[in-house]
């Protein structure tokens, strides 16, 4: 739904996304949208630092922090 670059250039973007489906009756069952803000980190390593021969088929784990807000309609 919306995307905004993080104020920290080394961090992943802030996002607002729509929930695409719901199952069950749990605490997140009525969520309609999710917002990610205050991100710190999460950008992948620079391509120049990767050796494709050594890294082929490997995952890169990149730590990050963020605040997530879950929105649901009010009511009963």
Strand order in the sheet with 14-18: 2-4, 14-18, 33-41, 64-71
Tens digit of each residue's pLDDT (9 = 90 or more) over 10-59:
899 999 999 988 788 888 888 999 999 999 999 887 776 777 777 677 77
The arithmetic mean of pLDDT across residues 53-66, rounded, is 80
What does residue 49 show for φ and ψ, rounded to 5 degrees? Answer: -90, -5
Residue 6 has pLDDT above 80, yes or no: yes
3-state secondary structure of 49: helix
Model pLDDT, residue 65:
96
Model pLDDT, residue 75:
65
* pTM recorded for the entire structure: 0.75
35 pairs with which residues across the strands? 16, 69
Model pLDDT, residue 76:
58
């Amino acid at each position: 739904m919306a995307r905004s670059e993080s104020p920290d250039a080394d961090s992943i973007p802030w996002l607002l996304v729509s929930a695409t489906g719901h199952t069950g009756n749990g605490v997140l069952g009525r969520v309609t949208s999710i917002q990610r803000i205050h991100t710190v980190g999460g950008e992948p390593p620079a391509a120049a630092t990767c050796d494709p021969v050594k890294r082929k088929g490997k995952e890169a784990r990149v730590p990050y922090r963020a605040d997530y807000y879950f929105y649901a309609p009010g009511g009963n």
